[in-house]
Amino acid sequence: MTVTVLPSRLSGSVAAPPSKSYAHRYLIGAALARGESRIRNAGESADVSATLGCIRALGAAALPAGDGALAVSGCGIPRRSATLFVGESGSTLRFLIPLCLLSGVPFTFSGAKRLFERPLSVYETLCRERGFRFEKTANSLTVCGRLTPGRYEIPGGISSQFATGLLFALPLLDGDSELILTGRAESLSYLDITKKVLADFGVSVAFDGGARFTVPGGQTYSPVDATVEGDASNAAFFEALALLHGDVRVTGVPADTLQGDRVFSSLAERIGRGEEISLADCPDLAPVLMAAAAERGGAVFTDTARLKLKESDRGEAMAAELRKFGARVTVEENRITVEKAALHSPSAPISSHNDHRIAMAAAVLLTRYGGQIRGAEAVEKSFPDFFERLSALGGKVRYDET
């Protein structure tokens, strides 16, 4: 789908969409609980829908319960073989793999080729060391094994999603475990969310604040009644619109949220000052911060190496699209420099690179300069009604389904 965004004057209030980070975790926790949970405001993004489909395939029941809530009747530890379609959702895949290694029966994950090109080496190493089955093709993965209590060491700098997956599974073992993050641990705020959600289900893990989790075994998940808060990552695109247009307000993200991407506004204030801005704990903000930097005087972003492991190689992809606006961008191994430059309407249609965050970051600039986004349907991954909300604020948006 191609979307044309014309220069517009935006104003008004917009509610942040539901947080994917919380929705994935609450749905998986509800599937592990014995009894019925109510999960409110989970949303309908493609990624969350993938998790919902997977927990149903594992044996949980999940039905609409009115007022945007889902009634989820859990199935406990997955014990029957199943094929799980994860789409393009890295969270779904990485959170569920350890749960499928609790019962010793095979499970197969299928989904988009790009997803299986992203790192899974943490789990592959874990499985190989324990003699488990780990068979990967271009668009599938089959695992089979039975985790036992003990000490688990995984790198902390690839993705926090691996640690979250293990933290869901280890409390269900019959003995205590330790989870050690080696190297530099990044995106720790996502593990704070995991701890919070686990606690809501009555599951306790202890974190020393640095690299070590202590996980008591023999625990069970209790049903919850939980409401998913607004998503700080996607709220950032509308906070960026506020920088460009002034009168845009975002609601739905609690002031005390644990989400690491709550820092967009504070980081954006540093753009144009010549300071280095680390993205170690908020890599998903990179595209929108790069767009803001191109518009507002440049910036140097550090700790960017992980961007190449996302839905696209986000540093290179965003640089390519910003250059169409006249921006000057240099991408290095772990550093991205956006120089001050005069922008203009893009010289060619913007490509989403099949990446929702590239599409939305480009749309922010297009409200000032106008232009087209090809592959705009990528927003369905996390924010299906993004362009509708943009229109509601006064954005001039046209759709071309061809």
Sign, CA torsion 383/388/390/393: negative
Q: Is 249 helix (H, G, I), strand (E, B) or coil?
A: strand
Cβ atoms of 286 and 319 within 8 Å: the answer is no
Catalytic position from the list 47, 200, 261, 284: 284
Q: Is 284 a catalytic residue?
A: yes
Which of 223-255 are b and which e, b meaning 16 or more Cβ less than 10 Å from the residue's Cβ?
bbebebbbbbbbbbbbbbbbbbbeebebebbee
Angle value at C-alpha 23, between 179 and 229, nearest 5 degrees: 110
Listing DSSP states for 68-100 in one string gives: TEEEEE---S--S-EEEEEET-HHHHHHHTTGG
Do 109 and 96 contact (CB within 8 A), yes or no? Answer: yes
Closest CA to 391 of 3, 23, 77, 113: 3
CB 121 within 8 A of CB 80: no
* 136 half-sphere exposure, CB direction, 13 A CA radius: 19
Neighbours of 11 (CB within 10 A): 14
Provide the sign of the torsion angle of the four alpha carbons 379, 385, 388, 389, taken in this order. Answer: negative
- Both tokens of 266, joined, read 């504070």
Burial of 21 (0-12, 13-18, 19+ CB in 10 A): buried
CA 143/CA 10 separation, integer angstroms: 49
| Residues assigned a catalytic role | 284
